[in-house]
Amino acid sequence: IDVAGMVASSLNLSDQDFLSNRLRFTEVPGAGAVVNNGIIETAAGGRVYLVAPTVENDGLIQSPKGEIVLAAGKEVELVDGAAPFVTVKLTADAGTALNVGNLVAAGGRIGMYGALVRNSGTVEAGGAMVGPGGEIRLVATKDLTLDAGSLVAANGTSGGRVLLQAEGGTNLVGGTVEAKGNAGRGGEVSALGVRVGVGGHGVIHASGGTGGGTVLLARDYQGKN
């Protein structure tokens, strides 16, 4: 699929919300998953939103300088406010957002949201050619898991930002997380959760050519450090 942008969901979007350009998806009993097994590409600055009770990427989603969001929940609203990153409001007591493929937004933004969030593949928002790293947010209302061999990277001329948050459970970093600045300062990596751990294969980098960035591992109760 080669598009300017796309939204795919198994939830309901009312006619009124659609006409008002409001991305508010409501519960559909028995709604299925949204799964990408192929290739989804957008032009520069495009957006790809996959929304369902369960969302899985097994293929490639690529949006240079754009935004990729996988949001798993029974009810999900995507709010495009003044901030660059879309705000995701969801009801997720059992939904899973899973990436075993590649999410790539060079110089852009990537978000995964759900009760359970798991990355076994690559989530990369590195600087597009020459430029700062982008921003990545992996936010779970329960548990967040980065499997061994996985990569989460927001590298660039200067490092970008990576937020890993398990609001009500365990945040386990078993893969590689990077926010490196190849020429400028390193970026920011925050790993928050009721329980936070770095596994035997887990590595976090925030180094920089002109100075290191910051790495924060902290307990986080209901969104508060």
Note the pLDDT of residue 130: 61
For 92-106, write each residue's pLDDT tens digit.
678 899 999 999 999
Distance of CA 223 to the CA centre of its chain: 17
d(CA 213, CA 79): 30
3-class secondary-structure state, position 125: coil
Mean per-residue pLDDT over the chain, rounded: 89
Triad 172, 138, 50: Cα angle to 5°: 130
Residues of the chain with pLDDT > 90, as a percent, come to 65
Q: Once rounded to an integer, what is the mean pLDDT over residues 2-6?
A: 91
pLDDT, average across residues 31-46: 94
Closest CA relative to residue 191, chosen from 206, 201, 207: 206
* Lowest mean pLDDT, pick from 93-97, 134-138, 148-152, 193-197: 93-97
First-to-final CA distance of the chain: 41
Q: How far is 168 from 220, CA to CA, in rounded Å? A: 8
Using one digit for the tens of pLDDT, what is the confidence trace for 198-211? 988 899 999 988 88
Q: Which of the four pLDDT bands, split at 50, 70 and 90, describes residue 109?
A: very high
| pLDDT of 69 strictly over 70 | yes
pLDDT at site 55: 96
Q: Are strands 2-3 and 23-25 parallel, antiparallel or unpaired?
A: unpaired
Which of these, 132, 81, 85, 80, lies nearest to 106 by C-alpha position? 132
pLDDT at 27 over 90: no
For residues 170-190, average pLDDT: 93
